[in-house]
Structure 1
Amino acid sequence: MIHLEHLNLVVRDIPTALKFYQAIFPHWQIRGGGESTWHGVERNWVHFGDDYQYLTFNDDGDADNRDLTGHQVGLAHFAYATDDLDGVVRRLKAAGFEIAKPGMDDPYRRNVYFIDPDGYEVEFVEYLTDIPALRNRYD
């Protein structure tokens, strides 16, 4: 079996990034952190997650993320599946973040997109069925 263990994100400010992701994952915690040098630049880093998955934040970001409306090579977005989309949206709104774009209208899933403080687009999807042929339709 293979599963995604972590994403390593370059951010401008770790506490600002944490505000967004702690709203999504209130049960996660800072697993560890420290200081390092990356290609001659000093940076702080933290691992934020649970015992099985986490996000790494490195605070040496010095430029804007890619233009999400453009066609540059780079990360378009990443997504999390949830069984409580309304709860995720409610927590993010309470933390001061708004939906960047609504998802598509589909009888078998609901989704929304948020932009984190460093310009990463994050999708959240709630599946309304356990039937793979309906969850994964492409029509």
Structure 2
Amino acid sequence: MLHLEHINLVVKDLPSTLAFYQAAFPNWTVRGGDNDTWYGTARNWIHFGDDYQYLTFNDNGQGDNRDLTSNRLGLAHFAFVTVNLSALISRLANAGFEVAKPGADNPFRKNVYFIDPSGYEVEFVEYLSDIPAQRNRY
């Protein structure tokens, strides 16, 4: 069996990025970090997560993320499942982050999209059914 272990992101600023993801994932911690040089660019990095999954953040990102309204090549968004979407939205709002766009109406799931401090679109989903045919209904 396979599962996603980590996502490695180049970000503009570690503290603001960490603030966003700490609000979303209050049970995750900084697992480690250091500084190094990546192809001639100095950077700091951290791993933020739990014992099984994490996000890697590398600072000193240059330029802007892709235009999310375009069809340009690149990451469109990534998503996480939560058991309480309202609580997650409240935590992010209390940390200064607002919903960027709501998800589609669906009787079996609720979802919203946020834009993190580096311009990555992050979806959060709460499923209202345990039946795969309902959860995966489009």
1:106 aligns with 2:106: yes
Per the TM alignment, residue 60 of structure 1 is displaced from its structure 2 partner at its CA by: 2.1
1:2 aligns with 2:5: no
TM-score, structure 1 length as denominator? 0.98
Query: How many angstroms apart in 2 are the aligned matches of 1:46 and 1:95?
Result: 20
Residue in 2 that maps onto 1:137: 137
- Equivalent residue of 2:91, what SS? helix
Deviation by residue 1:40-96 (Cα, 9 ceiling, x = unmatched): 111000001110000000002011100001111000000001111011100000000
Residue in 2 that maps onto 1:28: 28
Query: How many angstroms apart in 2 are the aligned matches of 1:130 and 1:27?
Result: 24
1:16 aligns with 2:16: yes
Residue in 1 that maps onto 2:77: 77
Residue in 1 that maps onto 2:117: 117
- Number of residue equivalences: 138
Superposition RMSD in Å: 0.6
**Structure 2 unaligned blocks of 5 or more:** none
- Equivalent residue of 2:62, what SS? coil
Query: How many angstroms apart in 2 are the aligned matches of 1:60 and 1:97?
Result: 22
Deviation by residue 1:84-131 (Cα, 9 ceiling, x = unmatched): 101110000000011000011111000000000000000000000000
User: Which ranges of 4 or more aligned residues in structure 1 deviate by more than 4 Å?
Assistant: none
Query: How many angstroms apart in 1 are the aligned matches of 2:117 and 2:88?
Result: 16
Query: How many angstroms apart in 1 are the aligned matches of 2:26 and 2:135?
Result: 27
Q: Where does 1:59-78 land on structure 2 (aligned, <5 Å)?
A: 59-78=59-78
- Equivalent residue of 1:20, what SS? helix
**Structure 1 unaligned blocks of 5 or more:** none
Q: What is the letter of the counterpart of residue 108 of structure 1?
A: F
TM-score, structure 2 length as denominator? 0.98
Q: What is the letter of the counterpart of residue 134 of structure 1?
A: Q
Residue in 2 that maps onto 1:126: 126
Per the TM alignment, residue 36 of structure 1 is displaced from its structure 2 partner at its CA by: 1.1
